[in-house]
Amino acid sequence: MDGPAKRYVDLLAAKVERKGRSREELCAVIEWLLGYAPEELCDSRLKAVSFTDWLDNAPAYNPAAALVSGKVCGIDVAAVEDPTMHRVRVLDKLVDELAKGRPLEKILRQG
């Protein structure tokens, strides 16, 4: 996870767009989870920061992320102990839910 954050955000965007979802929906998920405003996700500053630093220094990690459960790549999200890897897995899980067509309000644990 040492690559630039922009690369990972672009990969996540490509994944959801292939499944018929929008980059704006991805931005909403990232804003909910990490507190980054949508305009920060298109910013060239993402090229200068590593993905792990981007996750670890998120402006407002959502405490409701504790409600995210399930498995990603066979790994139980709740069982991941390393804080950075836990954030990676939670983000992966939310992006998977988005790509699978789950309604945004359910992904954001609003209903």
Structural domain boundaries in the chain: 5-107
Q: What is the pLDDT of residues 68-100, one digit of tens each?
A: 999 988 989 999 999 999 999 999 999 999 999
More confident residue, 43 or 62: 62
Model pTM score: 0.91
Tell me what pLDDT residue 85 has: 93
33 close to 77: Cβ distance less than 8 angstroms: no
Q: Which residue has the higher pLDDT, 2 or 59?
A: 59
Specify the DSSP class assigned to residue 43: S
**What is residue 41's predicted lDDT score, i.e. its pLDDT?**
77
| CB of 10 closer than 8 Å to CB of 88 | no
CATH 1.10.8.290 fits 5-107, yes or no: yes
